[in-house]
Amino acid sequence: MNDKLKQNPESILNKRFNVDFKGYSPLEVDSFLDDIMHDYAHYESMIASLVRQVEKLEESLHSYQTKLLEANTSLAALKDNESAPQSDVLKRLARLEALLEKK
């Protein structure tokens, strides 16, 4: 996660600036950097939480895809089983019709 960001809370905390004669107030800079450090820490925790949530959702998705595949397979098997008896009935009916026509 930190490899994509140039800064992290620790690098912000440890950052040192050179002091010039007409430089910024060190207290203001430190205060501002403290705020940024806290924001980075918060963002990192949010990202970690969202990554965990995505992983859980991907697991759920995979589970539901597996169940859907199983259901489709079962449905196809049921349709095959239903069509077989109907074809048997039609064949029997055709044979009976043929026998009746001979009589």
Residue listed under structure tokens 């079962």: 74
Mean pLDDT in residue range 89-101: 76
C-alpha span between 48 and 57 (Å, rounded): 14
Task: Examine residue 28 and state whether it is found in any structural domain, yes or no.
Answer: yes
Does the residue 60 lie in any domain?
yes
pLDDT tens by residue, 47-93? 999 999 999 999 999 999 999 888 888 888 777 766 666 777 777 77
The number of distinct structural domains making up the chain is 1
Residue 52, domain member (yes or no):
yes
Classify residue 97: in a domain, yes or no.
no
Q: How confident is the model at residue 3 (pLDDT cuts 50, 70, 90)?
A: low
With a cut of 90, say whether residue 20 has pLDDT above it: no
3-class DSSP state of 85: helix
Could you please report the per-residue DSSP string of 48-79?
HHHHHHHHHHHHHHHHHHHHHHHHHHHHHHHH
Average pLDDT score over residue span 9-38? 80
Q: How far apart are the first and last CA of the chain?
A: 86
The C-alpha atoms of residue 74 and residue 78 are separated, in whole angstroms, by 6
**Amino acid 84: pLDDT:** 60
Distance CA 24, CA 15 (A): 15
Question: Is 51 a member of any domain?
Answer: yes
41 pLDDT exceeds 70?
Answer: yes
Would you say residue 40 lies in a domain?
Answer: yes
66 in a structural domain = yes
Domain that holds residue 50: 2-14+23-75
Name the residue with higher pLDDT: 93 or 1.
93
In a domain, 81, yes or no: no
What is the percentage of the chain residues whose pLDDT exceeds 70? 87
